[in-house]
Amino acid sequence: MCALDHLCQSLSETLDLGHHTLLQTIRKRIISPKSGNDVSIDSLARKVQESLSLSKRHKFWETQPVGQFKDLGNASLPEGPIEPPTPLTEVKQEPYNLPSPYEWTTCDLDSEDMCSEVYLLLTNNYVEDDENMFRFNYSKEFLRWALHPPGYYKSWHIGVRVKTSKKLVAFITGVPAKIRARDTIVVMAEINFLCVHKKLRSKRLAPVMIKEVTRRVHLENIWQAAYTAGVVLPTPVSTCQYWHRSLNPKKLIDVGFSRLGARMTMSRTIKLYKLPDQTVTPGFRKMEPHDVPAVTRLLRDYLKQFVVAPDFDENDVEHWLLSKEGVVDSYLVESPESHEITDFCSFYTLPSSILGNQNYSTLKAAYSYYNVSTKTPWIQLMNDALIVAKKKDFDVFNALDVMHNETFLKELKFGPGDGQLHYYLYNYRIKHVLRPSELGLVLL
């Protein structure tokens, strides 16, 4: 079934189709246990036909140094940068032109006012689910954490204002990261938080914002980038799927995050997802500042096995993985005998606004971040992570099927989500589309 999915993916991508819908339909079928086997060639062909008629060109991305659909499976193209760096003097010195009512601004998140402006823009206009029931509500602390890693560039936090009113109407960011692709470590920009005010969606600001952030990244002599998207663009390095573990099933059902089947009782559902009050692994505790060297070693060693993964040093681990209240939580297992750090798990806090529900306004979600198991079995380790997340009052624990996550998802009662996350690299070619389990990278 996996092969079929893969076939379908490459098929649709090579043909440059409206793959998103296609993939989703097919994946849904494959996942659904009952209808899993009925993906006949006929229906596949029909889907491809339909998608062909909806064929969509990526006018913008076709002009960018990214893997193109037509090159998929072309083994003669080398891995690595698609374009060589241009001399810095040739990088455009002035910002790109915006439509005349708007102007560029650089957003200093250290300023409380600026941070609030960015927060409000995102809270009201950032990513929603397909049915517009939820919208991400990244906290201000989270934004500061996400945008101020070691060596960050202020100039990469870019806003767009209306000239007359000075209202902030669009935002895009980059942060530097060392990312390893097979044996090569490349300094890249992680591009994120692209958000255009809802009332400006039709003005095609996104392409110029992407170009502007790219220009500013180039000015720092950095030529590669990593980003994710829910839509298929040319061309995903990997396509991952979200899984969800209910911690507070009643609320999730009440707000429409999950549905209660007609033959299922709420009572049984609640019992199904019940977790013990205490973690079970001896030596399971919060990560402390003095654990940074040990965790760095553990993590570096673990991430080696993935084709694309961050290259964390101690500064990175201190920034990204040391617990920050309401932002990121990290736990580890310290062997009671040897006091060695053997296992590690972490998750970040990303609440969402619940749109139009009378009883609840916020969905509190934990997102699996980086996890390492060497001694504690995966299932036990992550079950302990669920237990602490539940105690911290999270409603749901989300995880992508990246790294070794597939080894525990089903067992720990995660259910598949409707969201797919495609990973992309800018100006860097990876020869083959990676399986999620070959990917060691989590972007926020």
Q: Annotated catalytic sites, by residue?
A: 444
Site for another protein in 377-406 (CB under 8 A): 398
Q: List, in sequence order, every beta strand (DSSP E) within 43-183.
A: 102-106, 134-136, 157-162, 168-181
Residue 444 near another protein by CB under 8 A: yes
Interface with another protein (CB under 8 A), residue from 244, 319, 404, 429: 244
Query: Could you give the residue ranges of the DSSP H alpha helices within 220-273?
Result: 249-254, 266-272
Q: 196 or 430: whose CB is closer to another protein? A: 196
Instruction: Answer for the pair 417, 242: CB distance below 8 angstroms, yes or no.
Output: yes
Q: Which of residues 168-187 bind another protein (CB under 8 A)?
A: 169
CB 201 within 8 A of CB 392: no
The number of CA neighbours under 13 Å toward the Cβ of 374 is 17
CA–CA gap between residue 63 and residue 179 (Å, rounded)? 24
Nearest to 226 by CA among 426, 441, 369, 434: 426
What tokens were used for 56? Answer: 């969509």
Residues numbered 281 to 340 that lie near another protein (CB under 8 A) are none
Shortest distance, position 281 Cβ to another protein, whole Å: 24
Per CB under 8 A, contacts with another protein among 7-36 are 18, 20-21, 24, 28, 31-34
Nearer CB in complex with another protein: 287/421? 421
Binding pattern for the stretch 218-237 against another protein, x by CB under 8 A and - elsewhere: ---------xxxxx-x----
Among residues 4, 44, 162, 187, the one that binds another protein under rule CB under 8 A: 162
* Shortest Å distance, C-beta 97 to another protein: 13
Task: Please state the closest distance from residue 273 (CB atom) to another protein, in A.
Answer: 12
Q: For residues 321 and 329, is the Cβ–Cβ distance under 8 A?
A: no
Beta strands in 258-385 (DSSP E): 284-286, 308-310, 328-334, 341-349, 352-354, 362-363, 365-368, 372-373
* C-alpha span between 80 and 68 (Å, rounded): 14
Task: Return the number of the residue (333 or 396) whose C-beta is nearest another protein.
Answer: 396
Nearest distance in Å: CB 421, another protein: 5
Could you tell me the smallest distance in angstroms from the CB atom of residue 216 to another protein? 16
Q: Does 148 bind another protein (CB under 8 A)?
A: no
Q: Which of 50, 71, 220, 318 binds another protein (CB under 8 A)?
A: 50
Q: Does 200 bind another protein (CB under 8 A)?
A: yes
